[in-house]
Amino acid sequence: MSALKLRNIGPKSAAWLRQVGLRSAEDLAAVGAVGAFVKVRRAGFKPSLNLLYSLEGALVGCHWQEVPESRRQQLVAEYEVAAGGLVAPRAGQQAGPVLETRMQPDDADDSGDDVAEIRFGDS
């Protein structure tokens, strides 16, 4: 969608489509709205259903809000069938595992408080 402007497709959506190999109106028409939406999701992007409706609107030449409710429901149903094989992306690991935790009294500290020694990962 670089040089070509499609109705309903903004810069972010166009970038997503380019990154999944859909660079023209013909590419989009060949895979359809649901196919393009699945490709974007499989690439790891997190589009809302508005992108699905926007893609359909771009293909039929109407504003995405003018896509009839019955067609929207049909698109969502088709997406759910197509996405049945999609594995939900897992969140990245937030921190390394705790390998060892020891509580020891600190000899140099006369307050009597315990000092914790915690090692993470390869520390």
Is 65 a domain residue? yes
Is 118 a domain residue? no
Q: pTM here?
A: 0.66
Residues 77, 72: Cα–Cα separation, whole Å: 9
Asked if residue 30 has pLDDT above 60, the reply is yes
Mean pLDDT of the chain: 80
Is 81 a domain residue? yes
pLDDT, residue 2, reads 41
Per-residue pLDDT, averaged over 34-43, amounts to 95
Asked if residues 32 and 77 have their Cβ atoms less than 8 Å apart, the reply is no
Residues 27, 36: Cα–Cα separation, whole Å: 9
Compute CA 56 distance to the chain's CA centroid, rounded to the nearest angstrom: 20
Highest mean pLDDT: which of 36-50, 81-95, 107-121?
36-50
Counting Cβ atoms within 10 Å, is residue 101 exposed (0-12), middle (13-18) or buried (19+)?
exposed
Domain coverage including residue 25:
11-85
Is 114 a domain residue? no
Asked if residue 82 has pLDDT above 60, the reply is yes
CATH number (domain holding residue 31): 1.10.150.20
Is 44 a domain residue? yes
pLDDT, residue 3, reads 45
Cα–Cα nearest to 21, from 44, 48, 49, 43: 43
Q: How many domains does the chain have?
A: 1
